[in-house]
Amino acid sequence: MNGCLFLLGVLLSFQQSLYSQRFLSIEIGDGGPSQDYSASLVQNKAMGMNATRHFLHWSQLEPDSGTYDFESTFMWAPAFFRQAGLKIIFYINPINTNIKEVPADLKNTAWDDPRMIQRFNRLLDTVVTYLGEETVYFSIGNEVDAYLTSAAEYGRYQYFFEQTAAHLKLLRPDIATGIAVQFGHFLNSIFKVNLIQLHDQADVLIGTYYGIEGDSVPLPEKVEWVMDSVLHLIPGKPVLFSELGYPSSSLLKSSELKQADFISSSFKAWEKHQNEIVFINFFKEWEWTRAEVEVFTKYYGFSDPYFVAFLSTLGLHDTLGVVKAGWDRFVQETRNYGFVTIQPSVNFRPEPVLSFFPSPFTNSVDFKMDLQNFNQPVGLEIYTVAGGVAYSTLLNNQPYFHWNGQSLCAGVYIVSLMCDGQRIHPQRLIKLK
């Protein structure tokens, strides 16, 4: 009897812990050669980021039967995030969207085949040795509903998940398990019943949502309806938005302002459901480069211009690091909704804020800089998109600067502040004829 009461107490404590904290993340990723991952991490932590994710495919971890690759898959990352004070959602994907990501010798093996389950469990035995207290959630698969196309397949994958999640529970009973799906698809799928059954033994409901419908974007505020609706799919399970994003491409009838409004609507809806939605990863900080987008189009097998436009404009900075309207809105909303509750670390340098008017300009432009509490020399630099310097000056702590740019050729430039040889807060500057 005492043993039963003890187990009941552990279960209740685990359930309560699932709702005990909200986790904010923004996907840093690889933004090309201009991005400094460490600088982004420090900056984002100062804005309230307290979580992230580590995303791996089973086929990466086990390229050959029983042979594990823990070097190129960055299995040291959980320890790195632990030292950085971040919690993580850890992924191992047997399915990634529309791709079966299992070892080569299991490509034709059914999900409910004992060999498939035993191999995954054997991998888990080793993987958990790398996971510490930083790992709060574990997803077995990503956007699996894009691959599962029949009720029978859902049933087989459900069995696979339940068997492997149970094994993980024996190894680490403190980690909450789930399966990442596409929330937009979940809400309208002909397999909604199967998707609900798929989560029968899941601790949490994990999913992605992007503001894209065919060849255009919905209104930014639709995300509020999506969050309301997701909470009614499987009441009683904490909800994680593992990817939440909105493209800004004009081809998709979007814009930077719409992307920014989507950010605001997301925070508004999260505040309303702060006791049910425990994790949001905004996707993403920097745009993918053209080369990275090409890799993804080949991987997924889609190369139509709308998909390319979607992938290319999800970031809140462009590939040169130029700030988009969505980034400024993200910074603003983290403050508005109380995520910035800690002082930056002693190594964090406050960034001077740069604004200018008019934009675009014809003859001259006025720059305004917020340099308070910044005790290092700061300069201003205007350069071409190819990187050539068109103008440079030292500001000498002056908060305002009027510049006559008549001699500059019409076109798109980048303006940024300079400190210690680093370009800070770069933004687009457009010169008209």
Q: Is the per-residue pLDDT at 5 higher than 50? A: no
The mean pLDDT value for 161-176 works out to 97
User: 């305002």: which residue's tokens?
Assistant: 400
pLDDT one-digit tens code per residue, 317-374: 988 888 899 999 999 999 999 887 544 443 444 455 677 888 778 889 988 877 765 6
For residues 265 and 223, the answer to whether their CB atoms sit within 8 Å is yes
Please tell me the distance from the alpha carbon of residue 239 to that of residue 302, in angstroms, as a whole number.
29
Residues facing 429 on adjacent strands = 413
User: 């035993």: which residue's tokens?
Assistant: 118
Q: Which of 356, 386, 367, 375 is nearest to 419 (CA)?
A: 375
Please tell me the distance from the alpha carbon of residue 394 to that of residue 376, in angstroms, as a whole number.
11
Asked whether the bond before 358 is cis by omega within 30 degrees of 0, the reply is yes
Residue 311: CB atoms within 10 Å: 21
Task: Please state the pTM of the whole predicted model.
Answer: 0.79
pLDDT one-digit tens code per residue, 94-137: 999 999 999 999 999 999 999 999 999 999 999 999 999 999 99
Please tell me the distance from the alpha carbon of residue 256 to that of residue 247, in angstroms, as a whole number.
8
Q: Is the per-residue pLDDT at 14 higher than 50? A: no
Residue 304: burial class (beta carbons within 10 Å; 0-12, 13-18, 19+): exposed
pLDDT one-digit tens code per residue, 396-420: 878 888 999 988 888 878 888 888 7
Residue 8 confidence class, pLDDT cut points 50, 70, 90: very low
123 HSE (CA, 13 A, CB side): 31
The mean pLDDT value for 41-53 works out to 89
Q: What is the pLDDT of residue 321?
A: 80
Please tell me the distance from the alpha carbon of residue 87 to that of residue 78, in angstroms, as a whole number.
9
Q: What is the pLDDT of residue 20?
A: 52
Q: Please state the domain extents for the chain.
A: 13-336, 353-431
pLDDT one-digit tens code per residue, 234-254: 999 999 999 999 999 999 999
Give the 3-state secondary structure of residue 380. strand
CA angle 426, 30, 258 (to 5 degrees): 60
Q: What is the pLDDT of residue 319?
A: 85
Residues facing 51 on adjacent strands = 87
For residues 339 and 24, the answer to whether their CB atoms sit within 8 Å is yes
For residues 52 and 25, the answer to whether their CB atoms sit within 8 Å is yes
Q: Is the per-residue pLDDT at 34 higher than 60? A: no
Q: Which of 202, 206, 204 is nearest to 186 (CA)?
A: 206
CA angle 355, 358, 359 (to 5 degrees): 80
Q: What is the pLDDT of residue 421?
A: 76
Looking at residue 102, the DSSP 8-state letter turns out to be S
Residue 317: burial class (beta carbons within 10 Å; 0-12, 13-18, 19+): buried
Average pLDDT value for the chain: 87
Third-level CATH fold of 353-431: Immunoglobulin-like (2.60.40)
Q: Is the per-residue pLDDT at 145 higher than 50? A: yes
Residues facing 338 on adjacent strands = none
Q: Is the per-residue pLDDT at 4 higher than 60? A: no
pLDDT one-digit tens code per residue, 74-101: 888 888 888 888 999 999 999 999 999 9
Here the tokens at position 70 are 């823990």
Please tell me the distance from the alpha carbon of residue 254 to that of residue 284, in angstroms, as a whole number.
16
| Per-position DSSP letters for 329-358, written without gaps between them | HHHHHHHHTT---SPPPTTPPPPPEEEEES
Element (DSSP H or E) covering residue 23: strand 23-26
| Per-position DSSP letters for 229-253, written without gaps between them | HHHHHSTTS-EEEEEEE----GGGT
| Helix ranges, 18-171 (H) | 37-46, 58-61, 77-83, 114-127, 151-171
Residue 376 confidence class, pLDDT cut points 50, 70, 90: confident
Q: What is the pLDDT of residue 410?
A: 86
Please tell me the distance from the alpha carbon of residue 375 to that of residue 195, in angstroms, as a whole number.
56
Residue 35 confidence class, pLDDT cut points 50, 70, 90: low
For residues 95 and 181, the answer to whether their CB atoms sit within 8 Å is no
Element (DSSP H or E) covering residue 14: helix 2-17
pLDDT one-digit tens code per residue, 192-248: 999 999 999 999 999 999 999 989 999 999 999 999 999 999 999 999 999 999 999
CATH number for 13-336 (one of 3.30.1450.10, 3.40.50.720, 3.20.20.370, 3.20.20.80): it is: 3.20.20.80
pLDDT one-digit tens code per residue, 268-311: 999 999 999 999 999 999 999 899 999 999 999 999 999 999 99
